[in-house]
Structure 1
Amino acid sequence: MEFYVISTILASVFIIPYALKTFFPYLWVDVQYVGVLMRILFKYVANRRRTPPFFALERFLERRAALSEKPFIVFGDEIYTYGETDKESNKIANALLSQPGYKPGFTAALFMGNEPSFLFTWLALAKLGSPVALLNYNIRSKSLLHCFNCCKAKVLIAAAELKEAVEDVLPSLREQGVTVLLMAKTCDTPGIENFSEKVEEALDTPPSLSLRSHVTLKSPAVYIYTSGTTGLPKAALVDQNRLLSALAVISTYGMTSKDVVYVNLPLYHTAGFVVGFFGCIENGSTMVLKRKFSASQFWDDCRKYNVTVVQYIGEVMRYLCCTPKRDNDRDHKVRLAIGNGVRAEVWKEFLGRFGDVQILEFYASTEGNIGFLNYAGKIGAVGRVHFLHQMLFPFLLVKYDTEQDEPMRDADGLCIEASKGETGLLVSKITDIAPFVGYALNEDQTERKKLRNVLKKGDLYFNTGDLMRIDKNNFIYFQDRVGDTFRWKGENVATTEVSDILSMSNCLQEANVYGVQVPGHEGRVGMAAATVKKDAQFDGGKLYEHVVSYLPSYARPRFIRLQSAVEVTGTFKQMKVKLVEQGFDPELIQDPLYVIDDCVRSYVPLTSDIYSSILSGRIKL
């Protein structure tokens, strides 16, 4: 009997863990994620309850007090400690206080590239209780004015190298009575004041706390602009409460005070500003700041500065994988890569080439109220559906009609939930815990992001505009953006999937896939703007065989447009709107154009005669 009992116990010891691993392979990481969520909630609630009021700025001041001599910003050969950063921001704050036309609390627009002054200035304005609009330094003229006016800013602070861009819109700014400050020691343009000299002369003593006594959790902290892939950018309002919640989330990403974080993404964007800048503040890390992303310099910088954590977004990882292979590709100290938008095949290639780096993929948007974290490390997934996460932040995938460009609804006017494995539109319930603040001075666009009567009459959800899929193991995958997916031959075509297939061909390096309208045809036909690989030539025959092998007939691009470079936004999102508008007319487009020809099994040059035949219907697509 004793032998039987002992044998049973020993068998259980070995069999139960094996059974759990076999039938519930993600149980342990799911349990650990409960702890992650609890830490986020506890940290967020604890910070909200602190007195005096605690905001993101206070977190920096805590770090400055504890880590005054520690390097905070490394920029080329320049090094600024936490203490020095604090003093630099104090000087800017005091210079602003002496500036006619500025008062504490005024909204200011920051027009700068990635440089320490950007960070000093934001901290200075935060100390004065001023919300800050983070302007994309690539925008000009109409777009620049539009973005500036969105936030009702009364002050524009610009980098010296952006003087000409400011001068282009100066008449409009002067009409509005805007104070324009240039981070330069000299400036001879009337209406633009040289601000650097005043900063150098200012005291580095901290401004009075009373200057930001009006700030509450609902007060605007920053305005971060959408990329403008579908028109003029929208200013997403990020209030103090949202910034505080972001700090709580970032604290679980695995960074520590020992880490050196490489920030080469734009500071005007959420990834660089919140995850990079505030990620370092939250964890007491050192930030290596780069003016802009450079694939060729990336790993050399990582080795030079002993970087341990890097960021990525969009196509960054693929750009790194496309650089020439080197013997020292694995010679670095990077242990963690944080970001979103890496494709499964690039993920695998990156690990195979650059070594054992933990990829922490997440899903989030600047204005959105839902996010996912791929805590299980599943390649290709943006996260995992977890019961506690879904309880706190209710969401679902609903069926979407890409032709009508709206969610499908049943006879009662309610949305239809997508089944497991089926692509659907991600919508998230708007609640007190998961609010949607909206866009500054844009009620129309704010309202468009709200979806009503989803599961029952009167409910309210945030429309992410993203098509997702949940597999049988509850992993969630990004499929496409609404508007990117198009319908052809009665089927939905996911542009990212087609783009991935084209990039796997022997001759194409990168492909931006979209749908164009053709007279006499329903839906939109597939087209790709692509670049040719270095030292390769476009081969229409081989490309035809490739797409036929991998893609169903309805998903095969009918038109190929060869470009020297695929146009992307500052955060590496492919631009489609202009391409869609230009269509496939060879008389209007100077780039080489090709059309699929099933008779000769190749992509052939698109001539004016072929174009006319397509329009007249003599050639069927």
Structure 2
Amino acid sequence: MKLTGRSVIGSVRRLVATAQNGLEVIRFGGLAHDVVASPYEVTERKRMYRLRHYFPDNAPDADRPVALLVPPLMVSADIYDVNAEGGAVGILNRAGIDCWVLDFGSPATEEGGWQRDLADHVVALNSAIDTVNELTGRGVHLMGYSQGGMFAYQTAAYRYGKGVDSIVTFGSPVDIVAGLPFGLPQGLVTEVADFVADHVLTRLPITDSMVRLGFQMLDPVKTAKSRLDFLRQLHDREALLPKERQRRFLEHDGWVGYSGPAAADLLKQFVAHNRMMVGGFVIRDRPVSLAELECPILAFVGEVDDIGQPAAVRGIVRAAPNAEVYEASVLAGHFGLVAGSTATNRTWPLVRDWVHWLGGRGELPEAIAPMTEHVEVNPQRSAATRVVHTVGTLAEAGAGLGSALGSIANSTLRGSVELTGEAARALPRLTRLGMIQPHTRISLGRLLTEQARRAPLKDLFLFDDRVHTNEAVAARIDNVVRGLIASGVRPAARVGVLMETRPSALAAVAALSRLGAVAVLLAPGSEIARAVELTGVNTIIADPENLRDAATVGRVLVLGGGDARGLTIPPGADVIDLEQIDPAQVALPGWYRPDPGLARELAFVLVTGTGAKLELKYITNHRWALSAFGTATAADLDRRDTVYCLAPLHHSSGLLVSLGGAVAGGSRIALARSLDPARFVEEVHRYGVTVVTYTWTMLRDILDADTFPNGHPHPIRLFIGSGMPAGLWRRTVERFAPARVLEFYASIEGDVVLANVAGTKLGCKGRPVPGTARVELIAYDSATGRIRTDAQGFARRTADNEVGLLIGKASEAVDISQGGLRGVFAPGDAWMPTENLFRRDSDGDYWLMDRRDTVIQTPRGPVYTQPIVDALNDISAVDMEVAFGYPAAPGRTLAVAGVSVRAGHRLEPKDVTEALRSLDPVRRPDLVYLVDEIPRSSTYRPSTRAIQATFALKSGPTVWRHDPATETYEPLSDAVLATLTD
């Protein structure tokens, strides 16, 4: 090629300009430019933040909408003014919007900056909102980029939306699990996030250089390209100057450090446990949920954003079911959403129009539309968009091959972890169960001690909108132990606990366990005097509400309600106020050893039933541990779960399933004061409840109240409990889809625990939980109460679908002198019979048929009550039902079903006929009796005795008789009535 003089001169000039500009960049970090920042004044200075007010010289205008912009922790607050005239504050100011920016500063330069946690920033933003509200007299449009948007959501929910007109976020993830990088499985990410939060971030500060490098590594191709473009244009100063401020921001000035505690909070609460999505994240000991949000929300979605991925950002529509949520989709990456030409030309003009629309000064732009949870994305279009956005650095074929290989690898990894994750969690529990021997030290108190030692700051339980950590609970339990010792309570003593559901009740039960005493759990309002007489209790721990009842039967130790609660002590009562005992002044005796309970030793006594049916259930430490670890295993409970305990602690479901399962699984426990449907819906969201425990018909009240309309988003994945009728089960899974029901059966007499883990057979009790007792069904004559034997005198095992007595293999920890059996299948073997009759289907699943003492003995043979109850409950019009025997004449007992009807429904004889066709004709009830209401016990079990006591055999339209000839139910006539009573 022939060089001309002009080209040589041009090359020299280009070389000189490159050298001059390069030297300036080396010396000063960039090119000198005349772009100045937008004017602002610092209106408020506090330890956590500075509040900037932009364009403070503007004339005051009471009608101006107000925007408060929040940066993420790792990015300077200047992000909203990087492009000056084309930046956020410049565009919004020209649109007549009053702009305020929260500046958290850098932890490297702020006092105590490296110790800041996530709650510090939420509380700081909360304070700034109050300030702006007060100074402007208006609500704010709260706007946040990336984690700043997460702060906006969290703070608005924390203050229940007060003073917030709307929320606008940019690339702010909510459903973190939906946007995990590289398709990583949640279980793996949870483990890694927890480890990093607990063991890395507590020791290693994240400096600004580390932050900058991290962001650049997220998109190394784009970083390299931008630097190459800069070098190529280094000779052309005029071309570089308009972008110089943004380049310097990204290369050097825009990044700030990230305090370890705040990063740990982010990982634990929002990555490992995804609590932005499910609710129950904790701010200053308060559980918070995005379900509190009711103001309009606009979320900007970056189509090629790899940090705030679209699926994660769109999680807000489910997390905030009470808010109107809109979205605007922008072809931009994470940074490009708020800075750069795309933000100047699209993002901030849309924000301007959003604010004007809410103020009634314009139309909603077409680019802003209601958000939908599922957005169909064409993979080919998405891939092509990403290729174009990265300036075609990779060939389309290569990218497609890499994507395919990555998809295969991701699917394999995800599948492997999902298949092994549950087993990995279950294995240590089952191993521990298998290692428990009669002399093994195991108890509720011991498991709580282990948790407090392992994770002292982890949340343990929630109650009345307060969160209590392992450390705080352990301290409370130890203080109660000292109070009990000072009051003369010793190991092995039986001490009554008569308390409503409250933190002090849990502390009392755990303190007795830690002391080695036996907790006798008494239900408020029950037959306390009779229970005390049967159990030998002479001391009762009571809360102030139950003090008077407890004082009538013995010495009372009052716990709960704080110091200044004005106790009213009955005259002559022997009462000690444990809250007035100073634990520090109690000297521990030489005999005290914390958590001394052995597996074989008695831990709890449950009092069930009333009157002649009042029974005592004795639970050893081994039996409690069996149920605790069995529940945790069957329900796959882990530290991501929050278990909501609807059942009171004095009920076996509350003590063994809720408390036991949560403690064994390392889950949080949320205690409900009572069954209140309105409070239920609030606390499910606020606490982030994933598992709900129930007894019998508890969920009927919640369904009838319609607090969760069909399709209403919720975080619940599982209901666990026992006694739920089949129809109520069906209603529950339909209303709370995709949540499942895990129905348990657990015998108090032995170690038998069944669980319907799959949840596909409604009404079925499932199969034995691994690690619990081996079970068998043996032939049983319900009329005589005798076991049927074979020719050698051993018990005969039942065939498939044959009704038999359920028995469990007795472990060394079980005392078979309390009704056990020996020589059942072999000489000397030991088994514990349950009180219940079952059948086992051909798949190996067990179905409850009846209690031994409630089988109805009719002239045609035994009639079992549970199949009748389940069949009738599956009628949509039926509310509740019971079945019992009625002696109509000497030697003639009729099988009767009492049925109440749901409000707004009508039940016809033909409905009953169709529902009961599934039963063998000889197992159907003779009569179906309509009643206005079926009373329930304190545990929500329909009261058979109450209906049986009021039943009178008479003809009429409310009593329907089964006609064996037509196999239908018809109103009972006088003529047929006469034949029944002969």
**Deviation string, structure 1 residues 558-602 (Cα, Å, up to 9, x no partner):** 444444432333333333345546653569xxx996252859976
CA distance in structure 2 between the aligned counterparts of 1:256 and 1:36, rounded to whole angstroms: 8
1:530 equivalenced with 2:899 (yes/no): yes
- Structure 2: gaps (5+ residues): 1-417, 560-564
Q: Structure 1 or 2: larger helix share?
A: 2
1:113 equivalenced with 2:478 (yes/no): no
Q: Which residue of 1 aligns with 2:767?
A: 384
**Deviation string, structure 1 residues 534-569 (Cα, Å, up to 9, x no partner):** 134565x54565467555554443444444432333
Q: Is the 8 A contact 1:87 1:204 kept in 2?
A: no
CA distance in structure 1 between the aligned counterparts of 2:483 and 2:500, rounded to whole angstroms: 21
- Structure 1: gaps (5+ residues): 1-28
Q: Is the 8 A contact 1:134 1:268 kept in 2?
A: yes
CA distance in structure 2 between the aligned counterparts of 1:309 and 1:243, rounded to whole angstroms: 20
Q: Report how far residue 498 of structure 1 moved.
A: 1.7
In structure 2, relative to structure 1, the CA distance for the partners of 1:328 and 1:534 (3 Å cut) is: closer
Say which SS state the counterpart of residue 492 (structure 1) adopts: strand
Alignment of 1:470-549 (within 5 A): 470-505=840-875, 507-522=877-892, 524-536=893-905, 539=908, 541-542=909-910, 545-546=913-914
Say which SS state the counterpart of residue 556 (structure 2) adopts: strand
1:573 equivalenced with 2:951 (yes/no): no
Q: Which residue of 2 aligns with 1:436?
A: 814
Say which SS state the counterpart of residue 467 (structure 2) adopts: strand
Q: Which residue of 1 aligns with 2:803?
A: 423
1:350 equivalenced with 2:728 (yes/no): no
Seq. identity, %: 21
Say which SS state the counterpart of residue 571 (structure 2) adopts: coil
In structure 2, relative to structure 1, the CA distance for the partners of 1:102 and 1:120 (3 Å cut) is: same
AA aligned opposite 2:904? D
Say which SS state the counterpart of residue 84 (structure 1) adopts: helix
**Deviation string, structure 1 residues 381-440 (Cα, Å, up to 9, x no partner):** 323369x87xx84432122223223333345543322101222221123232xx4347xx
Q: Is the 8 A contact 1:528 1:557 kept in 2?
A: yes
**Deviation string, structure 1 residues 291-311 (Cα, Å, up to 9, x no partner):** 223345433321122111211
Given candidates 287, 293, 297, the residue that maps to 2:669 is 287
Q: Report how far residue 230 of structure 1 moved.
A: 8.7
AA aligned opposite 1:384? R
AA aligned opposite 2:484? L
In structure 2, relative to structure 1, the CA distance for the partners of 1:583 and 1:209 (3 Å cut) is: farther
Q: Report how far residue 484 of structure 1 moved.
A: 3.2
Q: Is the 8 A contact 2:794 2:825 kept in 1?
A: yes
Q: Which residue of 2 aligns with 1:557?
A: 925
CA distance in structure 1 between the aligned counterparts of 2:585 and 2:847, rounded to whole angstroms: 49
Say which SS state the counterpart of residue 592 (structure 2) adopts: helix
Q: Report how far residue 133 of structure 1 moved.
A: 0.7
Q: Is the 8 A contact 2:753 2:768 kept in 1?
A: no
Q: Which residue of 1 aligns with 2:22?
A: none
Alignment of 1:208-607 (within 5 A): 210-212=591-593, 215-225=597-607, 227-228=608-609, 231-252=612-633, 253-295=635-677, 297-324=679-706, 326-327=708-709, 329-380=711-762, 381-384=764-767, 393-410=773-790, 412-432=792-812, 435-437=813-815, 446-447=818-819, 450-456=820-826, 459-505=829-875, 507-522=877-892, 524-536=893-905, 539=908, 541-542=909-910, 545-546=913-914, 553-577=921-945, 579-580=947-948, 584=952, 594-596=959-961, 604=971
AA aligned opposite 1:181? L
Q: Which residue of 2 aligns with 1:69?
A: 457
Q: Report how far residue 123 of structure 1 moved.
A: 2.2
Q: Is the 8 A contact 1:105 1:212 kept in 2?
A: no
In structure 2, relative to structure 1, the CA distance for the partners of 1:312 and 1:614 (3 Å cut) is: same
CA distance in structure 2 between the aligned counterparts of 1:379 and 1:395, rounded to whole angstroms: 20
Q: Is the 8 A contact 1:262 1:288 kept in 2?
A: yes
Q: Which residue of 1 aligns with 2:335?
A: none
1:179 equivalenced with 2:555 (yes/no): yes
**Deviation string, structure 1 residues 358-377 (Cα, Å, up to 9, x no partner):** 43333212332222233444
CA distance in structure 2 between the aligned counterparts of 1:346 and 1:275, rounded to whole angstroms: 20
Answer with 122-131 or 484-493: which moved more.
484-493
In structure 2, relative to structure 1, the CA distance for the partners of 1:551 and 1:158 (3 Å cut) is: same
CA distance in structure 2 between the aligned counterparts of 1:254 and 1:43, rounded to whole angstroms: 16
CA distance in structure 2 between the aligned counterparts of 1:257 and 1:209, rounded to whole angstroms: 37
CA distance in structure 2 between the aligned counterparts of 1:505 and 1:70, rounded to whole angstroms: 45
AA aligned opposite 1:221? A
Q: TM-score, normalised by structure 2?
A: 0.51
Say which SS state the counterpart of residue 147 (structure 1) adopts: helix
Q: Report how far residue 76 of structure 1 moved.
A: 1.4
CA distance in structure 2 between the aligned counterparts of 1:288 and 1:206, rounded to whole angstroms: 34
Q: Is the 8 A contact 1:94 1:202 kept in 2?
A: yes
Say which SS state the counterpart of residue 571 (structure 1) adopts: coil
Q: Is the 8 A contact 1:420 1:469 kept in 2?
A: yes
AA aligned opposite 2:621? Q
Q: TM-score, normalised by structure 1?
A: 0.77
Q: Report how far residue 39 of structure 1 moved.
A: 3.9
Of structures 1 and 2, the one scoring higher in RCO (CA 8 A, sep 6+) is 1
AA aligned opposite 2:481? A
CA distance in structure 2 between the aligned counterparts of 1:517 and 1:30, rounded to whole angstroms: 55
AA aligned opposite 1:131? V
AA aligned opposite 1:415? A
Q: Report how far residue 452 of structure 1 moved.
A: 4.5
Give the aligned length.
555
Q: Is the 8 A contact 1:363 1:371 kept in 2?
A: yes
Q: Is the 8 A contact 2:558 2:578 kept in 1?
A: no
CA distance in structure 2 between the aligned counterparts of 1:275 and 1:74, rounded to whole angstroms: 17
Say which SS state the counterpart of residue 584 (structure 2) adopts: coil
**Deviation string, structure 1 residues 461-512 (Cα, Å, up to 9, x no partner):** 2111222222222222223322333243424323222223333446532111
Answer with 296-305 or 256-265: which moved more.
296-305
Say which SS state the counterpart of residue 882 (structure 2) adopts: strand
